[in-house]
A = this chain, B = another copy of it.
């Protein structure tokens, strides 16, 4: 057994049985070993940003890591932006980066680079394997590191000679770690805060925006009058009819300031105190209002959901959560607008959908119009590095092949990782992508004036304009093997969205939605 075979065997034994891959020459023994370990499913992507984004989407839904396979430093570089998003999502990923044979590195061959600098940028955990007989143990350590709460990217650098040499020894993966409980004293302290009756917000962060956490938080809110918010960009939030509906903090500082008006106590549950996404001249970076005291129920890595349940038992015994009623918008009609397309989604979103949301400005109304739709999960752009929506949708579809995946995708961002569509076609992924084509970097038009650069002239505005030529997502999608249609009215969108959902496999609908501003 060579090193690569031992690695794959260990990964599979550790529950890591999907590998998103874009290999090169230095990874050929890993590729060859796939046939020796049939339990490992390999999913080819045409660009590493899709590899890493798909691994992120996969783990958000599967609750266990996928592996990746990247080609040397430049392959890792191409995957970094979506690994940044995964880092912000605290997603477990076993990120396998092939490297030159160790004896070859000193020759500064064209693809040689300092991979440690890239893994250092990403933080997380990194190990370079030194020997085929240690590679199994290295993989065990990588899986454990990835799964260490709250989850992280574990980088395993795999020199080609370690991969190809005989003497591979599979490792024995440990069980996933148990949740780290929150100290009872802290729960008791927070119980006092929420019972005091002063204006209080519970801010739900990583891991606490799923069924159990939402229900417990809603009970606390119902019993004490505390308000609930979810963090702005949750890795995964469960919502829809039958679940408590928790509003997310806004993207714009002004929204957050409005949401937190007069709040005296902010209780963080696996969340960070809110800060402005960007800096703006003369505006504050910190968004906790003056006179508001910040408390911590749980920090990242602790069992925030357990803490919420414990706190609910303490302060809300016998109190029921407030559950969202089933309600959908009526199907709208007429030319598409930034509002009515979201009503179409809300009207038709199927039971059990997974929504990968990178609709950006076009999606402002989506949380409202889908609140009472059947139960669904929403995966958001956690790190702000655009080009995540399509890959995350792909990964979610691999993780949950029995659930419909809906990808709401802004046009500009779509172009970063558009070849994800090809992998969706190849894998037969049941993803319905709605591309919101407003022919602009609309968010930047808004930001241009928000940063105080109102004097911008024609050259500046041209840099925010995606027309001339217009992007035609129907042709691009068809060019990658995904059937596609174009909708310019709400009726067309409803018709096309319904048909796409009814058919298996990937579909793209290009929705010609005018810019919000």
* A contact residues vs B (CB 8 Å cutoff): 21, 23-26, 28-29, 31-32, 34-35, 38, 42, 44, 46-47, 49, 73-75, 77-78, 80-81, 84, 88, 100-101, 103-104, 107-111, 113-114, 117-118, 120-121, 160-161, 164, 233, 272, 275-279, 281, 285-286, 382-385, 387, 412, 415-416, 418-419, 422, 425-426, 443-444, 447-448, 450-453, 455-460, 462-464, 466, 468-482
Q: Which residues of B sit under 8 angstroms from A422, Cβ to Cβ?
A: 415, 469, 471
Q: Which residues of B sit under 8 angstroms from A447, Cβ to Cβ?
A: 24-25, 28
A463 touches B111 (CB 8 A): no
**Least distance between A280 CB and chain B CB atoms (Å):** 8
A277 touches B468 (CB 8 A): no
**Least distance between A5 CB and chain B CB atoms (Å):** 11
Q: Which residues of B sit under 8 angstroms from A455, Cβ to Cβ?
A: 32, 35
Q: List 5 A-B contacts (CB under 8 A).
A: A42-B463, A84-B113, A104-B279, A164-B452, A422-B469
Q: Which residues of B sit under 8 angstroms from A77, Cβ to Cβ?
A: 77, 80-81, 84, 121, 385
Other A-B pairs, 19, CB within 8 Å; known A28-B444, A31-B464: A23-B463, A26-B278, A31-B444, A31-B463, A32-B453, A35-B458, A74-B84, A74-B385, A78-B81, A88-B110, A100-B279, A104-B276, A104-B285, A117-B121, A415-B422, A426-B469, A471-B479, A475-B478, A479-B479
Determine which residue in A448, A463, A477, A478 has the highest number of CB atoms from chain B within 10 A of its CB, and name it: A463
Q: Which residues of B sit under 8 angstroms from A481, Cβ to Cβ?
A: 469-472
Q: Which residues of B sit under 8 angstroms from A29, Cβ to Cβ?
A: 451, 453
B120 touches A160 (CB 8 A): no
What number of copies of this chain does the assembly contain? 2
In order of increasing CB-CB distance, the 10 nearest A-B pairs are A469-B481, A35-B457, A475-B479, A476-B479, A74-B385, A101-B279, A32-B453, A104-B279, A77-B80, A117-B121
A463 touches B44 (CB 8 A): yes
Q: Which residues of B sit under 8 angstroms from A425, Cβ to Cβ?
A: 469
Q: Which residue of B lies closest to A49 (CB)?
A: B78
In the complex the two chains form, what is the Cα distance from A78 to B384 in whole Å? 13
Q: Which residues of B sit under 8 angstroms from A272, Cβ to Cβ?
A: 108
Q: Which residues of B sit under 8 angstroms from A81, Cβ to Cβ?
A: 74-75, 77-78
A110 touches B233 (CB 8 A): yes
A286 touches B107 (CB 8 A): yes
Q: Which residues of B sit under 8 angstroms from A32, Cβ to Cβ?
A: 448, 453, 455-457, 460
Given A46-B415, A74-B81, A285-B103, the answer on whether A110 and B384 have CB atoms closer than 8 Å is: yes
